Amino acid sequence: MPQLNVGQTGTLRSVPKLTKISADDNTRMVFKNMGNNHAYPFMWGSTHLISGGADTVVASGIKFHGLELASNCNVVLTVTSGTPDGYVYVEKDSTANIITVKSTGTNSVEVDIKWMLASSDPEIDGLYCSGMGKPFPSQWQ
């Protein structure tokens, strides 16, 4: 089998880095342990009320270990109550490090936000599973 002992190339490592993560018992948050008693949240959830379709700042000036939230996070927005009469969306201002939930309608809605902090987007093309299924690099076909 030519694929044995062949590592991934590019920005990904051939062996994933082991990371200790822990969750908080009382909040919707998962922490990444950086060692030496340092941990920072990398996945969490929050709920916000968007009153009367007004723009609502949900994060401003937040930074974790040098990573500004507006530049280094993925945000998933879900309307959980109320009926939006327009679009509800997230706008990130990476210059000012502000994240705002905006609405084109006038109805009040409640939204759940799922946050994930990362310094860069994954390189999906280089990922493959080493089991019996696909996907796998084209040179192995």
What is the C-alpha to C-alpha distance for residues 18 and 52, in angstroms, rounded to an integer? 46
Domain regions of the chain by residue span: 21-120
Q: What is the pLDDT of residues 67-122, one digit of tens each?
A: 899 998 889 999 999 888 889 999 999 999 999 999 998 999 999 999 988 766 66
Q: Are the CB atoms for 137 and 7 separated by under 8 Å?
A: no
pTM over 0.75: no
What is the per-residue pLDDT for 84?
A: 87
What is the per-residue pLDDT for 135?
A: 53
Q: What is the pLDDT of residues 26-78, one digit of tens each?
A: 877 887 776 777 777 888 889 999 998 889 999 999 988 778 999 988 899 99
What is the C-alpha to C-alpha distance for residues 109 and 79, in angstroms, rounded to an integer? 7
What is the per-residue pLDDT for 141?
A: 47
What is the C-alpha to C-alpha distance for residues 131 and 113, in angstroms, rounded to an integer? 34
Q: Are the CB atoms for 109 and 86 separated by under 8 Å?
A: no
What is the per-residue pLDDT for 119?
A: 67
